[in-house]
A = this chain, B = another copy of it.
């Protein structure tokens, strides 16, 4: 009930997740900065990479962030010329978001940076270990998503 190990961060997977995520974001953001991109924008780029037009709501759902978070990010991306927002002809409350041509041109370079980071992150792990890791991560994510506050 009061095991001292409870407070040992090394026994808390949560601590690892937080530190790995922060580290990846920090390194990724620096590497993407020259391109004018950021790691938090990757889900948006992914969703729109083939010329698609999605609403803010759809993008928030895809990226698994709350609506105000996506609203702010799209504002910044629009300010920086990364995306375009045109009124949705079928719903005056909504806008359709798409990538600008300049952004599409940046995608290949972004791809290379991502691939590089991905391989550095799993350096020293066998293909089987990586598969195991992804499978365990998937399981944990499912548990986390089903956790009630």
Binding site for B on A (CB under 8 A): 1-3, 6-9, 12-28, 30-31, 39, 42-43, 45-46, 49, 64, 107-108, 111-112, 114-115, 117-118, 120-125, 129-130, 132-134, 136-141, 143-145, 147-149
Contact of A16 among B19, B46, B138 (CB under 8 A): B138
Contact of A139 among B39, B115, B125 (CB under 8 A): B125
Task: Judge whether A46 and B8 touch: CB under 8 Å.
Answer: yes
Which 7 interchain pairs have the tightest Cβ spacing? A30-B149, A21-B21, A23-B144, A16-B137, A17-B21, A6-B111, A133-B136
Task: Judge whether A140 and B14 touch: CB under 8 Å.
Answer: no
Task: Judge whether B18 and A21 touch: CB under 8 Å.
Answer: yes
Task: Judge whether A13 and B143 touch: CB under 8 Å.
Answer: no
A133 to chain B, nearest CB (A): 5
CB contacts (< 8 Å) of A118 on chain B: these are 12-14
Task: Judge whether A140 and B20 touch: CB under 8 Å.
Answer: yes
Interface of A is mostly: helix
CB contacts (< 8 Å) of A2 on chain B: these are 108, 111
A141 to chain B, nearest CB (A): 5
Given A20-B17, A64-B19, A133-B136: A123 and B149 interface contact (C-beta under 8 Å):
no
